[in-house]
Homo-oligomer: A and B are copies of this chain.
Amino acid sequence: MQTRIAGEIIAIGDELTCGRVANSTSRLAARELFLLGYDFAVMQCIGDNPELIGATLRTAISRADFVLVTGGLGSTDDDLTTAAAARALGLKTVSHPVLEARLRDYLAAQGREGDFARFARFAVLPEGAEPLDLQGRMAGYLLEYQGKPLWFLPGVPSQMAILLSEKLIPELTRRFPQPPVRQHLYHSIGLPELDINARLKPLEGRPGLQIGYYPVDAAVDVSLTVRTENAVQNAQLFTEADTLIRSALGATLFGENSDTLPECLGRLLEQRGLRLVLAESCTGGLIASSLTAIPGSSHWFEGGVVVYSNRLKEQLLGVPAALLADFGAVSKECATALAKGALAHLGGDLALAVTGIAGPSGGSPEKPVGTIFLGLAAQGLDTPQVQRLSLHGSRQEIQQQTMQRALDMLRHFLAHS
């Protein structure tokens, strides 16, 4: 099998070397490129030190097929990457005409021509570098040096992620086509990682085949990577593994590749022309927020209530005060009443309700932190479905898992109705 293309990552910033900020961008790049067939032999994190930036860059160029540098491209005084890189490579820095024009237009539009000097370094690149975003909304450029591509991306994770997928990856795959790699991601919920692992034992140690397991709150992602000499081998191996994985995961498989549980649920609802409403207590809006993060969610999501206080449970959804007094807000009875009440008071075709104890306080021997009740009511369903969960973890972890389990409850209901 031919030698693989190997890159190096250099993440720059004192905020990283002092441990104040987690270096999430290097991990993102490593993960994305690995799945495309590229290795990172070395990932380095260094501070805002021009000499060290230069030396590290030169070493990386001498070893790697390509280099990714992140951070230090802003226009504040601790942004030293461009100057240091240019010096280390014996290049001049020049103001890029297009970026400079954009900047002048931008300032002019705000009547701030006078500020140009303060922002000028935004447009300054090593000579020969090509900006990745000609609109100048994000810093970042590609510099060709001794025939090797050096990508300089911003340290801001959201911007880095955009330029990685829209600029770096297309260009990298064009320059260094890799032996055919086929990679598929399976999203599963309800089956523990170890059980999946046991079911997939037959795939272990098969040459050219890699299986990875990534628990994500209550879900588990299974990644299948097939990388062999040729496309025919790839296809055979992939089909074989794919078939086994699908049968192993069965109904716990909710999505693939970039799918998310909220998106999959949204598609199901839209296909059926059903509209969902929510009554959230302990998740406090997290479920609504995960659904409304999806463009077009207004087609199938009507809205919801965050009935954090008992008063609002009674007032907005008509949960009887007596019920709350007798069984408590964290109870099968309350979950049922919340789901019924949401359907009655908010409308919609389906209502999902959540009540429980996310902690850290509020637990009791018979209802410890992590005790959650899910309720599901639907038009034409006589009595709401109810599930009791016993979850573990921090408040946020319990809220996240509750969100996933609630959406999965609805997913199963839709699958079997």
Contact = CB atoms under 8 A, between A and B. Distances in A.
A156 B215 contact: yes
Given A52-B41, A204-B77, A27 B19 contact: yes
A28 B359 CA distance: 25
A23 B19 contact: no
Give the top 5 A-B pairs by smallest Cβ distance, nearest first: A284-B292, A19-B31, A285-B288, A19-B30, A285-B285
A372 interface: no
**Copies per assembly:** 2
Nearest to A155: B214
A354 to B, nearest CB: 11
Interface residues of A, number: 96
Interface stretch (A172-180, A235-243, A374-382, A391-399): A391-399
Contacts of A282: 292
Interface string A95-130: 000000000000000000000001100000000000
A284 B40 CA distance: 39
16 contacts: A15-B212, A18-B39, A20-B214, A42-B45, A44-B45, A76-B193, A76-B213, A77-B204, A283-B292, A284-B288, A284-B289, A284-B301, A285-B287, A285-B304, A286-B289, A312-B347
A311 B347 contact: yes
Nearest to A216: B156
A85 interface: no
Interface of A: 14-24, 26-32, 34, 39-47, 49, 52, 56, 74-78, 118-119, 156, 158, 183, 185, 193-194, 197-198, 204, 210-215, 223, 225, 278, 280, 282-289, 291-293, 295-298, 301-309, 311-312, 315-316, 346-347, 359-361, 393-397, 399
B285 A306 contact: yes
Contacts of A307: 303
A193 B307 CA distance: 38
A385 to B, nearest CB: 22
Contact of A305 (B24, B283, B286, B306): B306
B78 A213 contact: yes
